[in-house]
């Protein structure tokens, strides 16, 4: 791929045999190197996000650790699928990390009593309301690309009631999104893959100071039967540690056939 400027990060070079359809051996690792430069005036944390072109339903996890500067740190804050009624004063709800390239995001709640829930992205927009049907409630956000990053849901006993009610609710969520290429790994890890894959490698984004250049190495180990064709997009994203989110900066299509 020729050099290009994407927002505040420039891809200076892209080297590897997967930009055009080639035949590769199963089990033989392929290395792709992306040389990037921070052309902005503030530090940027960047990482590789390899995806397949197919889209699938994927259950979201509740939390996952990453590694930064050799120290363990939470990528998604600790959270619980279960909520109690009445809610304690310290209750924070249930949180999920919604990846980029999601076409829909659905929350399903099952409770011991009629209960609804309110959910929103980190910014408060968009907002979802789960209206109860019996003791269950569901809400979906659908868009060409659902707002990525942290989402929070808080359950509430459905009223009016004559007195305090007790009970509990359990929440789960899923996205319909571009599938992750699990045959690919990188030296940065993938923030978004952590949202759905408990066995994903640690998240170790590359921190670029203004003007600094670095190389991200992606390793693809083809798996599958002979003749299998694989197509995907290798995205380059940034990471905001305050918002626990990020944006896509560039995308490089790739494809190969297993020979």
pLDDT at position 73, please?
46
Q: Are 83 and 91 in contact (CB under 8 A)?
A: yes
Provide the CB-side half-sphere exposure for 246 (13 A, CA): 26
Query: For residues 257 and 20, what is the distance between their CA atoms, to the nearest angstrom?
Result: 10
Q: What is the pLDDT of residues 88-124, one digit of tens each?
A: 888 889 999 999 999 999 999 999 999 999 999 988 8
- Quote the Cα angle for 30-32-14, to 5°: 150
pLDDT at position 196, please?
94
pLDDT at position 147, please?
95
pLDDT at position 19, please?
56
Does residue 137 register a pLDDT over 90?
Answer: yes
- The residue with greater pLDDT, 36 or 13, is 36
> Which of these CATH numbers, 2.10.10.90, 3.40.50.720, 2.60.40.10, 3.40.50.300, describes 4-50+182-258?
2.60.40.10
Full strand arrangement of the beta sheet holding 9-15: 4-6, 9-15, 30-38, 213-220, 184-186
Identify the DSSP state of 245: B
The structure's pTM equals 0.88
Question: Which part of the chain is CATH 2.60.120.380?
Answer: 74-177
Q: How do beta strands 115-121 and 82-85 pair? A: unpaired
CA dihedral 175, 179, 180, 184 (to 10 degrees): 180
Does residue 32 register a pLDDT over 60?
Answer: yes
Question: Which part of the chain is CATH 2.60.40.10?
Answer: 4-50+182-258
When pLDDT is averaged across residues 19-47 and rounded to a whole number, the result is 87
Would you place residue 9 in the very low, low, confident or very high pLDDT band (cuts 50, 70, 90)? low
**Residue 172's closest CA among 123, 134, 117?**
117
Cis-peptide, bond into residue 133, ω within 30° of zero: no
Mean pLDDT of the chain: 86
Q: What is the pLDDT of residues 225-257, one digit of tens each?
A: 999 999 999 999 998 877 778 899 989 899 989
Q: What is the pLDDT of residues 34-81, one digit of tens each?
A: 999 999 898 999 999 999 999 999 999 986 544 444 343 445 556 789
Query: For residues 189 and 33, what is the distance between their CA atoms, to the nearest angstrom?
Result: 14
At the topology level, CATH places domain 74-177 in: Jelly Rolls (2.60.120)
When pLDDT is averaged across residues 6-14 and rounded to a whole number, the result is 57
């Amino acid at each position: 791929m020729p050099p290009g400027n994407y927002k505040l990060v420039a891809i200076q070079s892209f080297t590897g045999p997967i930009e055009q359809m080639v035949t590769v051996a199963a089990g033989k690792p392929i290395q792709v190197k992306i040389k990037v430069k921070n052309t902005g005036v503030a530090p940027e944390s960047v990482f590789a996000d390899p995806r397949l072109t197919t889209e699938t339903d994927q259950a979201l996890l509740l939390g996952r650790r990453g590694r930064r500067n050799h120290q363990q740190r939470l990528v998604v804050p600790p959270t619980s699928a279960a909520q109690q009624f009445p809610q304690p004063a310290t209750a924070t709800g249930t949180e999920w990390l919604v990846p980029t390239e999601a076409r829909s995001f659905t929350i399903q709640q099952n409770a011991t009593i009629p209960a609804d829930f309110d959910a929103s992205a980190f910014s408060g927009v968009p907002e979802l309301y789960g209206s109860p049907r019996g003791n269950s409630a569901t809400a979906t956000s659908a868009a060409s690309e659902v707002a990525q990053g942290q989402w929070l849901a808080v359950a509430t006993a459905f009223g009016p009631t004559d007195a305090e009610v007790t009970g509990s609710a359990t929440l789960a969520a899923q996205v319909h999104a571009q599938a992750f290429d699990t045959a690919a790994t990188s030296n940065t890890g993938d923030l978004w893959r952590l949202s759905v894959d408990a066995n994903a490698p640690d998240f170790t984004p590359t921190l670029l100071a203004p003007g600094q250049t670095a190389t991200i190495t992606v390793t693809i180990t083809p798996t599958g039967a002979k003749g299998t064709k694989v197509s995907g997009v290798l995205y380059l994203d940034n990471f905001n540690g305050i918002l626990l989110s990020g944006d896509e900066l560039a995308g490089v299509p790739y494809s190969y056939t297993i020979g």
